Amino acid sequence: MEYSKSSKCHLFLLIIVFYVVSGANFMQLSSDQASLLAFKAGIVADPKHALETWNASSTQVCNWLGVHCDKKSGRVVELDLSHHSLQGTISPFLSNLSYLEILDLSQNLFHGYIPQELGTLFQLRQLSLSSNLLEGNIPSQFGSLRQLVYLDLGSNKLTGEIPMPHLCNGSSSLQYIDLSNNSLTGKVPLKNECVLRELKFLLLWSNQLVGEVPAALSNSTRLEWLDMESNSLRGELPSNIVYKMPHLQFLYLSYNHFRSHNGNTDLKPFFSSLANSSNLQELELAGNHLGGELPSVIGNLSTNLVQIHLDDNHIYGPIPREISNLVNLTLLNLSSNLLNGSIRTELCQLQKLERLYLSNNSFSGTIPTEFGNVLHLGLLDLSKNKLSGTIPDSFANLSQLRRLFLYENDLSGMIPPSLGNCINLEILDLSHNGITGNIPSEVAGLSSLKLYLNLSSNHLDGPIPLELSKMDMVLAVDLSSNNLSSTIPSQLGSCIALEYLNLSSNHLQGDLPPSIGHLPYLKGLDVSFNLLTGEIPQTLEGSTTLVQLNFSYNNFSGNVTNKGAFSSLTIGSFLGNPGLCGSLIGMPNCHRKRTHHFPMAMLVSLIVAAIIFMVGYPIILKSKFGRHLAVASAKDTESEEKENKELNLPRISYNQLIEATGGFSSSSLIGSGQFGHVYKGTLTDNTCIAVKVLTPIAAGEISGSFKRECEVLRRTRHRNLIRIKTICSRPDFKALVLPLMPNGSLENHLYPSPEMKHGLDLIQLVSICNDVAEGMAYLHHHSPVKVVHCDLKPSNILLDVDMTAMVTDFGISRLIKGVDEHTSINDSASFSSTQGLLCGSVGYIAPEYGMGRRASTQGDVYSYGVLLLEIVTGKRPTDVLFQEGSSLHEWVKSFYPNKFQPIVEEAVMRLSPSYAPPITNDQSKRWREVILEMLELGLICTQYNPSTRPTMLDIAHEVGQLKEYLSCSSSQLIEEDPTELRLDIGYQQFVVTL
């Protein structure tokens, strides 16, 4: 084919244009690559190795993790590296990604300033830098981002004012703005001429903003979520603004300085303005000191309302009966106001109500018996009012009730025994009333109580019920300032979780039982102002946990030493006991009477006792258990064999377990949990075992717990998970037989007794944390049936002969069969908030469980985070709860990030090995780095929002690196031949000389 001269010229020009355009595209792509590599250069730590694929030799940037390109131009349009724990600064070279539409670097550890150059990314539609450590001002250049729809800078350390162009740039495209949880100051810079018509979410909570809610916000008629709580905003409640927001669903204005209308006397205009918001679900106005009566128009609010928070204000008058129109309400908080009158029975028409707070008001009259009809009620707080009459029997209908607070009222009559039907009750506080009569055995036997029982300052009489010993999970019991008589039952020693016991100001007599001194966690004991006699038990002196003791004004006698738990006490703990003597300052010295007969009498007594024990005990044991062993039915034997056969396990009979544990004697008891007791034993072949015997709280619960634990233990195979030996199952008895861990539980080592030579050092603890993380990661991600443990804590971590950690106690675990873990956390259908309160132990329970969320792997991550913080700080989470009034997470967070030094230094001293030479300066530096990493990881794991927590796979990887890092530094203590080891952690290289 021949071409004309003209055609050849055209073809030549086309070729030239093609190469010019191709070259330009190539240069642009090279520019994108250079910008990304410059960003990577600012990363100092990449724990997840997210940027491994990012290197100069790979020109295909569109295949790099987190990078997405436009199909036509090939230019980078999206960079999403959220949730990768990246550390470093944000490079201004990202501004060269001129086609970028989405930039998401949230949920990392970036620090430093936000580059103002990002304001030149004019195509940007979504920018998220939330949950980092960024500081400084918000760049005013962001006002040039006219295409921006989504902006999230929340949960950083940003300061200064919100730039005017930020909210007023002539653009109406913004739909989502989150600047919350920073330290921003000044007013909200939204002028009247600024119109954000597309805005749906405005989150400014937890800053230092002042002024009034800007009137221009009324132009944002599509707003669904407005959160301005925890600032210093002033002025009248914004009635004229919210009136124009028909789509409003969430309104949070708590903890500011707002006032109601007409000089803080009229709430009606504001509640009337909300009647137009037909989709309103949550309303929070707490902590504003709002005045006025609660208007009847509150009944005109959306029937979609599920939560109302009006606590900590100056609202007065009665509760309007129209509140019963809010039929979907699950939480109503009117506490700490000036409300009066009787408690409306109309409240009891709210059939979906789960939590009701009416405390610290001036309500009078009786407690409505109709509360017994609110079957979903899980928390009822009527404390600190002027209520009279008796406690309604109808409370027995509240099977979901977890927490009942009636203290500081004028209640009279007896405690209804029917309260014992509330089998899920965790807290019962009836203190400071005028209640009379005995403590019902049904109430004393509430084994579900696991926080506290407070019946103090009443007129109760009679003995302390023996059934109180069934409360083996309760943390505190206060029966002080009553008229209780008789003796203190020794069975209280069975309340093995007890930390505080107050029996003061009663008429108790007799000896103080030594069994109380054996309580493994007891920290406070007050028996003052009673009629107790005899010697103070030596078991109390030997306690390793007791710190608060008061024996004053009794009739105790004998010698008091200044050793053990008594070493920190003064004479003030023993006043009013003229028969006491000892070495404490202010106490008379003891005068010993010499006698030649005493040593001989003691010797004879010991010999006789030994003969009786050797001859009589086997006879007693045989008599006690022989008959029971003989009548074991063939049906029971068949049941044992059937279940063991199904699980492919060897058979150990019920009789053998009785013989191995001495009849499940108290001396064999080594632990107790929500669903059972654990005994140590030895089989006839000298095999040491641990027997977990399930305690029947309710037949259904025990059956379910037993089957769950068997199912989990049968299907899991991992070196860091306890292995089942066999089971013993009969209609009246169910037990798991496990290998006995010779080194006990982690809790025993975190809080060692004086006879232990030393606790665990940091190297051992990090290794244990790694073992636990590996075991939990297997349960969450690799087990044949996904498992949520639900009760991860130190006492459920056992240590074998090599100090390898094994996770145990799956009694309340949830099996997730083929369900994605994220699905379970968001799906709260048919699952009330009260059910969530069961998922774990106090101090380790994830906060979302208290709000109705399902048990989830994120809940286990929270418990693991508490475990890390507990190990580093040396504080039990319950200690912080009782002493500081906050969670361990909040207590540690209050020191973050610049006040960690005292915690770190204390941890280095406490966790240094006492059996080896002192650590070197280099090792000390490494230890401080690891402790700091553990603190930060603990805080990340215990974040309030479960979706922001890492997975157990991430945690196992991170703690594994810490273990490697520490083991290299510690190996200097044992290696003799010097070598050199290079260790990469993230993108840092450490050279260790061994």
Kindly state the tokens that stand for 373: 């009809």
Kindly state the tokens that stand for 611: 């003969």
Kindly state the tokens that stand for 167: 């909210």
Residue 742: how many CB atoms within 10 A of its CB? 12
Between the CA of residue 572 and those of 30, 452, 501, 555, 586, what are the distances in Å? 79, 27, 18, 15, 9
692 annotated ligand-binding residue: yes
Buried-exposed string 352-368: b where 16+ CB fall within 10 A, e elsewhere: bbbbbbbbbbebeeebb
Kindly state the tokens that stand for 336: 């700490």
Between the CA of residue 406 and those of 336, 358, 435, what are the distances in Å? 15, 10, 11
Q: Up-side HSE of residue 142: CA atoms within 13 Å toward CB? A: 23
d(CA 640, CA 663): 19
CA torsion, ordered 673, 846, 872, 721, to nearest 10 deg: 50
Residue 155: how many CB atoms within 10 A of its CB? 23
Catalytic positions are: 791
d(CA 902, CA 430): 40
Which residues, 6 or more positions from 344, have their beta carbon under 8 angstroms from its beta carbon?
318, 319, 320, 321, 323, 324, 368
Kindly state the tokens that stand for 819: 């369900």
d(CA 58, CA 626): 79
Kindly state the tokens that stand for 92: 């201004």
Contact 492, 466 (CB under 8 A): no
d(CA 987, CA 984): 7
Residue located via tokens 């204005």: 253
Task: Tell me the torsion sign for CA atoms 579, 556, 526, 548.
Answer: positive
d(CA 329, CA 348): 11
Contact 168, 190 (CB under 8 A): yes
Buried-exposed string 853-891: b where 16+ CB fall within 10 A, e elsewhere: bbbbbbbbbbbbbbbbbbbbbebbbbbbbbeeeebbbeb
Residue located via tokens 């230890």: 927
d(CA 116, CA 137): 10
DSSP 31-100: HHHHHHHHHHHTEEE-TT-TTTT--TT---GGGSTTEEE-TTT--EEEEE-TTS--EE---GGGGG-TT-
DSSP 878-907: HHHHHHTSS-HHHHHHTTTTTS-HHHHHHH
State phi, psi for 786 to the nearest 5 degrees. Answer: -60, 140
d(CA 610, CA 581): 32
Closest Cα partner for 124 from 88, 152, 160? 152
CA torsion, ordered 214, 220, 222, 224, to nearest 10 deg: -20
User: Binding site residues for ATP, as ranges?
Assistant: 692
User: Binding site residues, as ranges?
Assistant: 692
